[in-house]
Amino acid sequence: MGTAVTAVRAQVADYVELTKPRIALVVLVTTYAGMWLAAGPTLSFSLVFATLCGTWLASASAGVLNNYIDRDIDVLMSRTSHRATAAGRVEPQHVLYVGLGLAGASFLLLVLTTNLFAAALAMGTIYFYVVIYTMWLKRRSDLCTEIGGVAGALPPIIGWVAVTGEVGLPAILLFLIMFIWQPPHFWVLALLREDEYRKAGIPMLPVTSGAFITKAKMLLYTAALIPAGMLLFVVGVAGPFYLTMTTLAGLVYLVLTIDFARRPLDRKYALNLFFFSIAYLLLVFTVIFIDSHT
């Protein structure tokens, strides 16, 4: 009996990990930020709960389907070889059914509790991540990180649309921040894993263009985050505290990226920059909740 329970728990843990819970956390925070800018404190708990659950289901679906498709290349990389799909701990067909089932549940929940537009955007996010990014770009082009970032930037728009039924400028500006933030965030780790990506035949930017070009593009995107972050203040959605904090954080992020770019590749500096990029994003969205006008 004890062995059976342990086996079930291990299987559940494997499926939970396939949903990429760390990515889902970012998705939920940014979705809620879109809702907050749309309605602020007037948001109803039921709408927030339903929207976040529906968006999480979409994120989980995308993560599971990504693992299903990438199992052949995941086994070639130390970072991903432990995944349940790559290691053969789960039946691939079952993983496919779970991923599709999560997508269906997301659509039904969002269409019944929010609106058809929000539900369609969630499905579009899954399609973009799974088909455009995972199945096509990731295996064919070094633009995968940049164009694929569309999927990761859509949750704030889903949140806004769930409240208003239409796309608004603040949601587009949140999309812009997320879209610009993602490439340098991912490239810093891609530089550390260049050999693994090369072995797996994945044309990430460090593989196709080398460290110099990758670092140069990281600098461009990081620099672009500063004016992009200012736009919420410019359009009157966020206040001076937001402007001050996001600008300072953006400048620190840029200085750290410059320092990283001018050095030979070093794991310590790469990881420090990676974790600061996460801190930067958390700070931006935290001050949105503190100093925004709805």
The confidence score (pLDDT) of residue 119 equals 98
Q: What are phi and psi of 269, to 5 degrees?
A: -70, -35
Q: What is the pLDDT of residues 179-205, one digit of tens each?
A: 999 999 999 999 999 999 999 999 999
How many angstroms from the chain centroid is the CA of residue 105? Answer: 20
- Residue 201 sits in the same domain as residue 244: yes
Same domain, 145 and 177: no
In this prediction, residue 148 carries a pLDDT of 93
> Do 150 and 186 reside in the same domain of the chain?
no
Considering the domain architecture, whether residues 191 and 137 belong to the same structural domain is answered as: no
Q: pTM for this structure? A: 0.94
CA distance 121 to 127: 10
Among 167, 192, 222, the domain-final residue is 167
Reference 90, options 78, 112, 74, 79; nearest CA is 74
Note the pLDDT tens digit of each residue in 206-251.
999 999 999 999 999 999 999 999 999 999 999 999 999 999 999 9
C-alpha dihedral, 218 to 223 to 224 to 226, nearest 10°: 140
Yes or no: say if 93 and 99 are a contact pair by the CB < 8 Å rule.
no
- Mean pLDDT over the full length of the chain: 95
